[in-house]
Amino acid sequence: MRSGIADIIKKSPFGPIQAHMIVSKASAEELINFLQFAIDLNWDEAVQSRKLISELENQADALKAETRGLLTKSIFLAVPREDILDLIKLADDIPNTVKDISGLMIGRQMEIPKQIAPSFLLFAKEAAAITDAAAEAVDYIDELFQFSFGGNAATKMQQLIEKLNSLENKNDHSEITLRAELFAIEKDFPPINIVFLYDIINKIGELSDRAEQVGHRISLIASR
Amino acid sequence: MEVIILYGPYLLISGCVFGFFMAWGIGANDVANAMGTSVGAKALTLSQAILVACIFEFAGAYLAGGEVTSTIRKGIIDPVLLADSPDLLVFGMMASLLAAGTWLLIASFNGWPVSTTHSIVGAIVGFAAVGISIDSVSWSKVGSIVSSWVVSPLVAGTFSFLIFRSVQTLILNTNNPFDNAKKYVPGYMFLVGFVLSMVTLVKGLKHVGLSLNFQESLTYSLMIGVGIALVGSLFLRRIKNTRQQKGDVVFDGVERVFAVLMVFTACAMAFAHGSNDVANAVGPLAAIVSVVQSGGEIASKSIMPWWILLLGGVGIVAGLATLGYKVIETVGRNITELTPSRGFAAELAAATTVVLASGIGLPISTTHTLVGAVLGVGLARGLSAIDLGVVGKIIVSWMVTLPVGAGLSILFFFSLKGIFS
Is 0.95 surpassed by the pTM of this model? Answer: no
Can you tell me the mean pLDDT for B181-209? 82
CA distance B80 to B328: 42
Mean pLDDT for chain B overall: 83
Cα–Cα distance, B154 to B201 (Å, whole number): 25
Query: Residue A58 is part of a domain; what is its CATH number?
Result: 1.20.58.220
Closest Cα to residue B258, out of B348, B349, B375, B343? Answer: B343
User: Which whole-number Å values give the CA distances from B150 to A4, B127, B143, B154, B346, in the listed order?
Assistant: 17, 24, 11, 7, 17
**A215: helix, coil or strand?**
helix
Residue B5 C-beta-side C-alpha neighbours within 13 Å = 5
| Dist CA B139 CA B127 (whole Å) | 14
The verdict on A224 touching B (C-beta cutoff 8 Å) is no
Residue range A96-105: mean pLDDT, rounded: 93
Q: Contacts of residue B393 in chain A, CB cutoff 8 Å?
A: 4
Look at residue B207 and give its three-state secondary structure. Answer: helix
Q: Which of B200, B38, B60, B116 is nearest to B368 (CA)?
A: B116
Do the domain assignments include residue A196? Answer: yes
pLDDT at B243 over 90: no
- Tell me how close the Cα of B170 comes to any Cα of chain A, in angstroms: 11
Q: What is the mean pLDDT of residues B283-298?
A: 79
Is B232 strand, coil or helix? helix
For residue A6, is it within any domain?
no
pLDDT over 80 (residue B202): no
Judged against a pLDDT cut of 70, whether residue B302 lies above it is answered with: no
Min CA distance, B246 vs chain A (Å)?
A: 14
Residue among B28, B374, B381 minimizing CB distance to A9: B374
Alpha-carbon torsion, ordered A11, A17, A20, A21, to 10 deg: -140
Query: Is A183 touching B (CB cutoff 8 A)?
Result: no
Q: Closest-CA residue in chain B for A6?
A: B331
Virtual torsion, Cα B142, B146, B151, B154, nearest 10 deg: 160
Domains in chain A, number: 1
Work out the percent of chain A whose per-residue pLDDT is above 90.
52
pLDDT above 70 as % of chain B: 92
> What number of CA atoms fall less than 13 Å from residue B316's CA on the CB side?
33
What is the number of CB-based contacts under 8 A between chain A and chain B?
Answer: 138
Domain span at residue A41? Answer: 12-66+76-223
* Cβ contact A38:A120 at 8 Å: no
| Within-domain flag for A4 | no
Asked if the model's pLDDT at residue B41 lies above 90, the reply is no
Query: Is residue B402 within a helix (H) or strand (E), and if so which, with residue range?
Result: helix B388-420
Express each pLDDT in A24-34 by its tens digit: 999 999 999 99
Question: Tell me: the pLDDT tens digits for B3-35?
Answer: 666 667 777 888 888 889 888 888 887 788 778
Q: What is the reported pLDDT for A90?
A: 92
Question: Domain extents for chain B?
Answer: 2-420
Say if B248 is an interface residue toward chain A (CB within 8 Å).
no
The per-residue pLDDT of chain A, averaged, comes to: 87
**Cβ–Cβ below 8 Å for B337 and A2:** no
Q: Residue A141's closest chain B neighbor by CA?
A: B384
Asked whether B157 and B373 are in contact (CB, 8 A), the reply is yes
- The answer to whether the beta carbons of residues A36 and A121 sit under 8 Å apart is yes
> Which residue, among B374, B384, B391, would best test binding to A if mutated, counting the most A CBs under 10 Å from its CB?
B384
Burial class (CB in 10 A: 0-12, 13-18, 19+), A191: exposed
Q: State the burial class of residue A12 (Cβ atoms within 10 Å of its Cβ: 0-12, 13-18, 19+).
A: buried
Instruction: Tell which residue, B203, B68, B79, has the closest CA to residue B148.
Output: B68
Contact yes or no for B40 and A7 at CB 8 A: no
> What ipTM is given for this predicted complex?
0.73
Per-residue confidence at B299, pLDDT binned at 50, 70, 90? low
Q: How far apart are CA A61 and CA A16, in angstroms?
A: 11
- Shortest CA gap B239–chain A (Å): 16
> Which regions of B32-181 does DSSP assign to beta strands (E)?
none
User: What pLDDT, on the 0 to 100 scale, is given for residue B143?
Assistant: 87
Q: Looking at chain A, which residue has its C-alpha nearest residue B372?
A: A5
Q: Quick check: A8 contacting B, CB < 8 Å? A: yes
pLDDT at A1: 47
Are B331 and A149 inside 8 Å of each other by CB? no
Burial class (CB in 10 A: 0-12, 13-18, 19+), B310: middle
Mean pLDDT of B330-351: 84
Residue spans of alpha helices (H) in B130-213? 139-167, 177-203
d(CA B298, CA A23): 73
Whether pLDDT at A73 is above 70: yes
Question: How far lies B12's CA from each of B6, B283, B412, B419, in Å?
Answer: 12, 14, 17, 15
DSSP string, B274-337: HHHHHHHHHHHHHHHHHHHHTTS---TTPPPPHHHHHHHHHHHHHHIIIIIHHHHHHHHHHTTT
**Given an 8 Å threshold on Cβ–Cβ distance, is B385 in contact with A12?**
yes
Query: Phi and psi at residue B217, in whole multiples of 5°?
Result: -60, -45
